Amino acid sequence: MTTYPPVPSLVLNTIALCAGKEILRIYATDFDVVTKGDASPVTLADQAAEAIILQKLALNAPGIAVVAEEEMAAGRAPEASEVFFLVDPLDGTKEFVSRNGEFTVNIALIDKGVPVQGVVYAPALGEIYWGEIGKGAFRATVRDGAIGLSEPIAVARATDGGVVAIGSRSHSGPETEAFLEAFTVSTFVAAGSSLKFCRVAAGAADLYPRMGRTMEWDTAAGDAILRAAGGRVETLDGQPLRYGKRDQGDDADFANPHFVAYGDPALGRTD
């Protein structure tokens, strides 16, 4: 039995659209880029989008805690809670800065460590994906700020011809290559931000290994969509990726270990 209160997907999608509108407004300007303490870039778009999301979540889902990237960077973390939102207002800031369009707005709902609901919106590409465990995963195009007809999405079965692997445009390396040696890889596709999860969820790719540092807000929304589409996200020891990780000792709160996102349920299974 889930404990999270119902938050209609339409609500989360609408919030993501509002944030995306502001991101696109700034995207069209000569914006400044600031480097944070962890050497990652941040722009006015990150901050403005997060402010919109926080305001609208407070109005539409009062009482549910929110862990948001820029709030965390400012040292403002909510008290621990079994049910909370994870927000990355602009995942793929490097893509935003390079203007390749592959950046996303990410909102996820976590219940007892599991991402049960999520939305990923790529405003420059006009693509939105959402999903909820038990209700399925969907995608639609966005034109003039409005979501078009939705279509259900599901993971694909890997074929004898090999798997399609997808990976980070900025962070692939020897560890990823070594992991993929266990598979017959027919194609490797590079993509930015949480779109990698969405491509696996929609059957356009079969697996996404991430052998680099990520934070929970980077992955939660895409993870929720992939799980709702029939896939899974696991740590390298085969355990489901968990959320709400605090007091990790050797790493920061909400930091993820290395993980692999699988489409076909049979991929990566040894039993």
Q: How confident is the model at residue 236 (pLDDT cuts 50, 70, 90)?
A: very high
Give the separation between CA 119 and CA 131, rounded to whole angstroms: 7
Tell me whether the CATH fold assigned to 9-153 matches the one assigned to 163-262. no
Q: State the pLDDT at residue 1.
A: 40
The reported pLDDT for the residue numbered 126 is 98
Known binding residues for Mg(2+) are 69, 88, 90-91, 218
Q: What pLDDT score was predicted for residue 170?
A: 60
Q: Are 109 and 4 in contact (CB under 8 A)?
A: yes
**Strand ranges (E), the chain:** 33-35, 41-43, 65-68, 83-91, 104-111, 114-122, 127-132, 136-143, 146-147, 151-153, 163-168, 185-191, 207-210, 214-215, 232-235, 255-256, 259-262
DSSP state of 192: -
Q: Summarize the confidence of residues 57-64 as an average pLDDT.
A: 94
pLDDT digits (tens, 9 = 90+) for 247-269: 998 899 999 999 999 999 899 87
When mean pLDDT is compared across 11-25, 81-95, 165-179, 213-227, the lowest value belongs to: 165-179
Query: What pTM does this model have?
Result: 0.94
Model confidence at 4: pLDDT above 70:
no
Highest CATH level, class, for 163-262: alpha beta
Q: Rounded to an integer, what distance in angstroms lies between the CA atom of residue 88 and that of residue 73?
A: 12
Mean pLDDT for 177-191 is: 92
Contact 226, 265 (CB under 8 A): no
The CATH number of domain 9-153, selected from 3.40.605.10, 3.30.710.10, 3.60.20.10, 3.30.540.10: 3.30.540.10
Residue 98 to residue 101: CA distance in whole angstroms:
8
**Domain map of the chain by residue range?**
9-153, 163-262
Rounded to 10°, the helix 9-27/44-60 angle is 160
User: What residues are designated binding site?
Assistant: 69, 88, 90-93, 218
- Residues annotated within a binding site for substrate: 69, 90-93, 218
Q: State mean pLDDT over 32-57.
A: 85
User: How do residues 135-161 score in pLDDT, each as one tens digit?
Assistant: 999 999 999 999 999 999 999 998 888
- Residue 107 clears pLDDT 60, i.e. is over it: yes
207 touches 200 (CB < 8 A): yes
DSSP string, 153-191: E-PPPPBTTBEEEEEETTT--HHHHHHHTTS-EEEEEEE
Residue-level pLDDT at 268: 84
